[in-house]
Structure 1
Amino acid sequence: MSTVAILYPGHSAEDEFALLESRIPDARFPVIHTWEGSTDHDVEALLALGARDLLEPPAKEAAQAGADSVMWACTSGSFVYGWEGCHEQAGWVASASGAPSSSTSLAFAEAARHLGLTRVSVAATYPEDVATHFADFLRDGGATVTALSTYDVPSGEDAGLLGPEWVLETARAADLAGAEALLIPDTALHTMTVLTQLEDALGLPVLTANQVTAWQGLRLAGHPAVAPGLGRLFEAR
């Protein structure tokens, strides 16, 4: 059994990790909340959300729970720190937990490398100024962002209220010209139940926030991270 502790801010789509436990029987994804307030899609608020003093206490709690790995499950609360800062942030979590650690943003970059992707389109819930940080982060990680769509969803709580049909419509509306995959960030967005539909509709790999978070956490825990129904990422060894 592999235990991946999920450090999660606020309350929106954390139920996706319980769903993942039902899909991957030899894995556990205990959710530890890092923050009980709102998760606004605002750069300054997101920098505060990913601050060291907020991440270290739950990381220590993850250690006490016997986590094999720890994931900071917040895309925007990690990429706003930039490429180098994001690695430093993961280091804070690793030092506090004593376990291999990463974040959703780093997981996106690693998943893209794993699938051999160099050109990606992004469909983001965030306002444009926030989403631009994600595009910059991906470019620093070696991926060309061919198109960036933004939807001005004001907070994680608002994103958590968006249903699967919104995700499908957003994916279908994305500009995929020249792209090898579509990336949909935001761990507050429910996407796990429509991964297969998304990839069937687009004919391309689709990477979503909670999907890559679980995948990276499992790999760090020594799990093969292979499972049916969770998109091409979980099919590729």
Structure 2
Amino acid sequence: MTTVGLLRPEGHPEDDYRRIETLLGGEIRVDPVAYAGPGADMELLAAGAERLRLAAADAVVWATAGASFAEGFEGARARARSLARAAGLPASSTAIGFAHAVASVGAARVALATSYPPELAGAVVRFLEDAGVEVVGEARAPRGMPLPELVRAADDPRAEAVLVPDTSVPVVADVPGVEEAAGKPVLTGTLVTVWEGLRLAEHHGAWADGLGALFVRRGPRDVWEPGM
């Protein structure tokens, strides 16, 4: 059993995480620990990481997109190192996970779909660019817009994937159909967060038909193609 420990802001729903856990089958457990207070309060995050260590987590991921992107690429890496020291476990964040996930599906140019205010959306773009990812399309929309509409608004013919970073809105159930319509991977905050935890835990080969491009069964050198 591989356990992915998540530091989840209080109030963020668990629906997507439970769906991911179910579709990945009985060998993987997703264990979210909620914390209250400022999104980047290291004392709270360290306390949560300690709880996850005691619960036998194999890796810890700070499961918030906005706050982790806002620290910048180097700041996010420093935060991950601090969490790893606090937990005594491999640690990362949703933002860092996006950089790895984009590479995993073979993309270099992406479109970005968020409900974030302009300042935070700009921080996401800068983070991705610092990670070597080119943002060629962008759309900001009210929170709660259905995933198909959000992806259509953001997509660009040059984009090789569409990123939907928000971890506070459950959208996983819609991902396979949206990817089919877009003809490219659609990477969402909750999917990327769990995938990053499995990557850290070195649980290779986790796959499920209902979870989109990140969890498609493929060889180590394959990249995602529509219909796979």
TM-score by length of 2: 0.90
Q: Which runs of 5+ in 1 are unaligned?
A: 38-47, 154-158
Conservation of the 8 A alpha-carbon contact between 1:172 and 1:201: no
- 191, 199, 209: which one aligns with 1:219: 199
Residue 32 (structure 2) aligns with: 31
Conservation of the 8 A alpha-carbon contact between 2:129 and 2:135: yes
1:180-215 deviation line (CA, Å, top 9, x unaligned): 110001110211101101101111111000001111
Conservation of the 8 A alpha-carbon contact between 1:147 and 1:175: yes
Equivalent position SS for 1:129: helix
Q: Which runs of 5+ in 2 are unaligned?
A: 221-228
Shift of 1:61: 0.7
The answer to whether the aligner puts 1:186 opposite 2:178 as a matched pair is: no
Shift of 1:13: 2.6
* C-alpha RMSD of matched pairs (Å): 1.4
The answer to whether the aligner puts 1:176 opposite 2:177 as a matched pair is: no
Give the Cα–Cα distance (whole angstroms) in 1 for the partners of residues 151 and 105 of structure 2. 19
Equivalent position SS for 2:146: helix
Shift of 1:128: 1.1
- 117, 122, 128: which one aligns with 2:112: 122
Give the Cα–Cα distance (whole angstroms) in 1 for the partners of residues 82 and 19 of structure 2. 28
Give the Cα–Cα distance (whole angstroms) in 2 for the partners of residues 140 and 131 of structure 1. 14
Residue 95 (structure 1) aligns with: 85
Give the Cα–Cα distance (whole angstroms) in 2 for the partners of residues 229 and 215 of structure 1. 14
The answer to whether the aligner puts 1:7 opposite 2:7 as a matched pair is: yes
In structure 2, what residue type is equivalent to 1:15? Answer: D
Could you list the runs of 4 or more consecutive aligned residues of structure 1 that deviate by over 6 angstroms after TM superposition?
none
Shift of 1:226: 2.1
Equivalent position SS for 1:178: coil
Residue 57 (structure 2) aligns with: 67
Shift of 1:75: 0.6
1:143-175 deviation line (CA, Å, top 9, x unaligned): 100012112x5xxxxx4xx3xx71111112223
Give the Cα–Cα distance (whole angstroms) in 1 for the partners of residues 210 and 181 of structure 2. 15
In structure 2, what residue type is equivalent to 1:187? Answer: T
Give the Cα–Cα distance (whole angstroms) in 1 for the partners of residues 96 and 57 of structure 2. 19
Give the Cα–Cα distance (whole angstroms) in 2 for the partners of residues 228 and 99 of structure 1. 29
Conservation of the 8 A alpha-carbon contact between 2:155 and 2:162: no
Conservation of the 8 A alpha-carbon contact between 1:71 and 1:103: yes
The answer to whether the aligner puts 1:110 opposite 2:100 as a matched pair is: yes
TM-score by length of 1: 0.87
Shift of 1:59: 0.6
The percent identity for this pair of structures is 38
Segment drifting more, 112-121 vs 9-18: 9-18
Give the Cα–Cα distance (whole angstroms) in 2 for the partners of residues 73 and 12 of structure 1. 10
Equivalent position SS for 1:121: strand
- 180, 200, 204: which one aligns with 1:200: 180
Shift of 1:222: 2.1
Segment drifting more, 98-107 vs 165-174: 165-174
Equivalent position SS for 1:218: helix
Residue 211 (structure 2) aligns with: 230
Equivalent position SS for 2:211: coil
